[in-house]
Amino acid sequence: MMPVQRFAHYAERIERHDAKLGAFLNLRLTQAEAEARASQVRITRGGRLSAIDGWCIGVKANIAVAGLPHHAGIAAYRDVIAAEDSDVVARLKRAGAVILGSLNMHEGALGATTDNPAFGRTQNPWRHGFTPGGSSGGSGAAVAAGLCDAALGSDTMGSVRIPSAYCGVYGHKPTTGVVSNSGVLALSHTLDHVGPHARHVGDLVALLEAMSGKVMTSNPVDLKALRIGVWDGNGAVGLETAVANGFQAAIAKLELSGATLVPVSPPVYDYGKARRAGLLISEVEGAEIHAARLASNPAGFSDAFRGLLEWGARQPQDKCKAAYDLIAEIHDAASGLFKKVDFVIAPTAPQTAFSFDETAPANQADFTAWANFARLPATAVYTGVSKEGLPLSLQVIGSEGQDAKTLAVAQALQSLFGHAPMPEGF
């Protein structure tokens, strides 16, 4: 589709579907239509700016888009309007992207259900009443439901990859520093990463090139030439049966492809200790980031989120140092693993999407957080659908700085597993 037709297609789909989905919070359709028309003029004249010129993109509500509310899903910031674009949105606009609007998220990015007390729930397109994951739940849901070409999210301990898994799309958490966080209302300066969601791995590549200004294309990989570490938690994580069965089926397909598979576990990675360290860092840094607003408008934070931030503000220095020391140790040890294998695959999340009526499992980020701590690139890859009719996913994790090659492996896996169909009703 040409950009104007593309814009009209997504605007119509948003109008038709988003009332029941709850993915978008704010739309800028007048500006987006003008951007689409400008893109079409460029392309018609042979002046395409990039591979994503004319693509329609949604942006998580913690990433600044000039003229839109910039609140990170926190009621206390509801009236804050971004004066300028974040670095990553500015890069997308310079590449010709059409920005449709801002997307719902878990309050403050500290959680993985996107059941937001101030801005409402985002539904999973695969099953109403189920979470799309989080914290970038609006981003994953919008892409899965076909409301945009792609979406931006942020990933602190898995917040791009978990919604990608629950919603049956692809999502990439870049190597630390590859994509600028400037203009993001952060949760954790240490762990936050801006990353894309899309319905095809090739789209992630084009997006990441525009977002980073770096070449992300790579030669196609031959799975038979790879030594891949298989990380399944060895019973320590508690995989849901559907996830365990789906992961084993994916491994069986990989074996048939000729890849060399080796059981691995990330070194010095104790799930409970790592989870607590990551959450402590997020709560301590989040408390610092939101201190002024928390003092002036405590009612603008939910009881749950406010409690986590207040707990973070009370943590003693020695406890904080121990958490930072642990993630530094996890980072330093990771390079040794990649001397033994080329890439690691693991379940993206230990469970499929679950009902909003259920308590969120404590282990949602046990597989994803390692890449944040170790500063590694990681891509969530759709692998199929469970017997219950919910998407299954694994992640491919590469060594530090190897985003292009990690995405190339993800592309090969997409060819092996196929990509997700559109959820029924969309």
Residues catalogued as catalytic = 60, 135, 159
Distance CA 80, CA 82 (A): 6
- Assigned token pair, 252: 């069986």
- Assigned token pair, 20: 């029941």
Backbone angles phi, psi at 279, to 5 degrees: -65, -40
- Sequence-ordered list of residues with C-beta below 8 angstroms from that of 183, at least 6 positions apart, any chain: 63, 64, 82, 84, 85, 86, 87, 88, 89, 90
Beta strands in 174-292 (DSSP E): 193-198, 227-230, 260-263
Beta strands in 81-169 (DSSP E): 98-103, 115-116, 120-121, 150-155
- Assigned token pair, 218: 């790579």
How far is C-alpha 99 from the chain's CA centre?
18
Q: How many helical (H) and strand (E) elements, i.e. helices and strands, does the chain have?
A: 13, 13
Backbone angles phi, psi at 69, to 5 degrees: -55, 140
- Assigned token pair, 197: 């969601």
Distance CA 415, CA 105 (A): 30
